[in-house]
Chain A
Amino acid sequence: MSGHNPSDVFELGILSVYVFLLAVILGLELVRRVSPLLHTPLMSLTNAISAISVVGGILIAGAAGVKPLPKVLGLIAVTAAMLNIVAGFMITDRMLKMFKRETGKGGKK
């Protein structure tokens, strides 16, 4: 992966665009299949997924010899993203726990 020459950089960029397009198409198809019953949990799950930017935050804040400003910004980003991840997954799970099928009568646990 190291020692980029210009054409490598281009190839990697193009490869990323392929990955991006396929992921978008996959996302559209997957979400189209989600029952409207679960649209709210879907939103809160994808909300947690958007906090994948935690990866970027760690890479910046954890690098050797990083300047103070990027480091602080990176750390705040890691905090905010982690908050988002934990809250997103927990809320999704809390909601999904409530969805029950009819069980005899009453539907109580």
Chain B
Amino acid sequence: METFLQSLWQYAYLLAAFATVFAIKWLNHPSTARRGVIVGEIGFALAIIGTLLRQEVVNYTGIAIALVIGAMIGAPMARLMPMTSVPQFTALSHAFGALAAALVGTAEYYLEPTAPTGFKMVALTIEVLLGFLTFTASLMAFGKLQGLVPSPPITYKGQNFVNLAFLGVGVVCGVWPIVTAAPDWVYPVFVLISLIFGVMFILPIGGGDMPTVIALLNSFAGASACAMGFTLENRLLIIAGALNAASGFILSVIMCKAMNRSFTNVLFGAFGQVQEKAGGKAEARPVRSASAEDAAMLLANASKVIIVPGYGMAVAQAQHKVRELTDQLVKRGVDVQFAIHPVAGRMPGHMNVLLAEADIPYDRLHEMEDINNEFAEADVALVIGANDVVNPAARHDKTSPIYGMPILDVDKARNVMVIKRSMNPGFAGIENELYYDPKCLMLFGDAKGFVSEIVKEVNAQSPVAA
């Protein structure tokens, strides 16, 4: 009996590991996803209780207080967060998770400065480097998304070289204690360099590349926890960390593929700072603009409308007005569908969450591959706050920075309408030739205001027989 109690934590860990696997597995479909969350929560409860049951753990007071404080900050944060801020809050959460991993690594280092064997010390170095780097990098990502730090890339000459050299020094400081006993100053310097490198890493990355970067930071946080599993010989940590690292990694690969860009290009390419070059030769070509009245007429008389939302919709918080418009059009027998580009918004799946928040049923939301063929049958493609993901230049203009990026084929629709604030180029700083297409109508204005005007016009022009 006594031995059973002593090994109880082993069973708790085993179940917790299974729970994390099923949490991710059940997240693959909306119908089972919430079950996944519950299983994940049970898994974490088991992991924490199991750890507290371990014989090594003898002091409970401090831990209990720490757990309560953490929960008391985390719960209101999660409850009060506006849904439009999901990307920045995810970044902020990464920061805390990574900080925890890095601090544990640091504590381990000072716990047994003499003992760690070569292999464990390697894992510890990886854990601490990734942890602290992800901590500051996530805070920077948070700053960029929240608008506290300027979102365009911040670059200077020789930046990649400086970053690389800096990381090199960090690696030396990290490897030193692995190889031989290092002086006392080496470890703090290693920590400091890891922290600063996180900032330097994010500076040259523009706001529009955040989907890839947030996914990558997610992966780093997992890898850090996984490395901790090796230092502590804890397989629950290895499994959960590895699942997380794999998940973040594959998401960032999906994001890169959706932009037809390589990892290196996203991380070191300082994409989005070409504005000036492109702006120089901007000539005044004619565009057709239209009023809300014209737009309403086209929409109400269409039989199929495909709406393409982008980050601009999120900024203007127009999703609820878009829902109203959808409802009104559906009432008039219009088939309304949504086309979601994988990198629309600031994190993977950003648009889906916003539209779901506005109560738009998810069966109307479609991935790029699934809906691209349908544009040819659509009477109207309505682009709200999206830009580069609908630029036909990606298909044929080899000189365009977005050449080769898979795009939504809105130009195949019979009519195209684009709600946009002005003719300013979007994030990538590239002229969008769609706007000069003869069948494209520009609707200049704030997305939220403009959509609600269209709704009013639709109601005025064709009242539904109720």
* Residues of A participating in the B interface, judged by any CB pair closer than 8 Å: 9, 12-13, 16, 19-20, 23-28, 30-64, 66-67, 69-71, 73-103, 105-108
Whether A31 touches B246, Cβ cut-off 8 Å, given contacts A36-B352, A54-B100, A58-B51, is yes
Picked from A35, A57, A82, A84, the residue with its CB within 8 Å of the CB of B29 is: A35
9 contacts between A and B (CB under 8 A): A20-B230, A30-B247, A37-B362, A49-B20, A50-B97, A58-B48, A77-B107, A85-B74, A98-B359
B100 near A77 (CB under 8 angstroms)? yes
Picked from A19, A32, A71, A81, the residue with its CB within 8 Å of the CB of B238 is: A19
User: B-side binding surface: helix, strand, loop or mixed?
Assistant: helix
User: A-side binding surface: helix, strand, loop or mixed?
Assistant: helix
State whether the Cβ of B28 lies closer than 8 Å to any Cβ in chain A.
yes
Enumerate chain B residues within 8 angstroms of A30, measured Cβ to Cβ. 21, 24-25, 28, 243, 247
Enumerate chain A residues within 8 angstroms of B221, measured Cβ to Cβ. 47, 50
Q: Chain A's nearest CB lies how many Å from the CB of B327?
A: 7
80-123 of chain B: CB within 8 A of chain A: 81, 83, 86, 89-90, 93-94, 96-101, 103-104, 106-108, 110-111, 117, 119
Picked from A13, A38, A51, A69, the residue with its CB within 8 Å of the CB of B100 is: A51
Enumerate chain A residues within 8 angstroms of B98, measured Cβ to Cβ. 50
B349 near A80 (CB under 8 angstroms)? no
Picked from B52, B214, B235, B360, the residue with its CB within 8 Å of the CB of A19 is: B235
> In the bound complex, what is the Cα–Cα distance between A89 and B77 (angstroms)?
12
B110 near A77 (CB under 8 angstroms)? no
State whether the Cβ of B56 lies closer than 8 Å to any Cβ in chain A.
yes
CB nearest neighbor in A for B62: A75
CB nearest neighbor in B for A78: B66
Picked from B25, B327, B330, B353, the residue with its CB within 8 Å of the CB of A95 is: B353
> In the bound complex, what is the Cα–Cα distance between A27 and B83 (angstroms)?
27
State whether the Cβ of B267 lies closer than 8 Å to any Cβ in chain A.
no
B244 near A49 (CB under 8 angstroms)? yes
Enumerate chain A residues within 8 angstroms of B36, measured Cβ to Cβ. 45
> In the bound complex, what is the Cα–Cα distance between A96 and B19 (angstroms)?
18
198-256 of chain B: CB within 8 A of chain A: 214-215, 218, 221-222, 224-226, 228-230, 232-251, 254
Picked from B77, B239, B240, the residue with its CB within 8 Å of the CB of A83 is: B77
Against A, the Cβ 8 Å flags (1 = close, 0 = not) of B69-83 are 111011101110101
> In the bound complex, what is the Cα–Cα distance between A41 and B23 (angstroms)?
11
Enumerate chain B residues within 8 angstroms of A105, measured Cβ to Cβ. 330-331
B349 near A16 (CB under 8 angstroms)? no
State whether the Cβ of B276 lies closer than 8 Å to any Cβ in chain A.
no
B244 near A102 (CB under 8 angstroms)? no
Interface centre among B29, B34, B70 (most CB of A within 10 A): B70
State whether the Cβ of B365 lies closer than 8 Å to any Cβ in chain A.
yes
CB nearest neighbor in B for A60: B107
B34 near A74 (CB under 8 angstroms)? no
A67 near B110 (CB under 8 angstroms)? yes
A45 near B238 (CB under 8 angstroms)? no
Interface centre among B44, B224, B237 (most CB of A within 10 A): B44
B361 near A100 (CB under 8 angstroms)? yes
> In the bound complex, what is the Cα–Cα distance between A32 and B27 (angstroms)?
11
> In the bound complex, what is the Cα–Cα distance between A84 and B97 (angstroms)?
6
Picked from B33, B57, B247, the residue with its CB within 8 Å of the CB of A27 is: B247
CB nearest neighbor in B for A103: B361
Beyond known contacts A27-B242, A30-B21: 5 more, CB 8 A cutoff:
A23-B242, A31-B246, A38-B27, A49-B20, A59-B54
A52 near B246 (CB under 8 angstroms)? no
Q: Chain A's nearest CB lies how many Å from the CB of B119?
A: 6
State whether the Cβ of B357 lies closer than 8 Å to any Cβ in chain A.
yes
Enumerate chain B residues within 8 angstroms of A47, measured Cβ to Cβ. 90, 93-94, 97, 218, 221, 244
B101 near A53 (CB under 8 angstroms)? yes
B24 near A42 (CB under 8 angstroms)? yes
CB nearest neighbor in A for B241: A52
> In the bound complex, what is the Cα–Cα distance between A57 and B111 (angstroms)?
12
Enumerate chain A residues within 8 angstroms of B364, measured Cβ to Cβ. 102
Q: Chain A's nearest CB lies how many Å from the CB of B230?
A: 6
State whether the Cβ of B347 lies closer than 8 Å to any Cβ in chain A.
yes
CB nearest neighbor in A for B233: A12
The 10 A-B pairs with the shortest beta carbon distances in the complex, nearest first, are: A82-B70, A27-B246, A39-B349, A86-B74, A90-B78, A62-B57, A39-B348, A23-B242, A40-B349, A81-B100
Q: Chain B's nearest CB lies how many Å from the CB of A93?
A: 5
A16 near B229 (CB under 8 angstroms)? yes
Whether A38 touches B97, Cβ cut-off 8 Å, given contacts A50-B225, A82-B70, A90-B79, is no
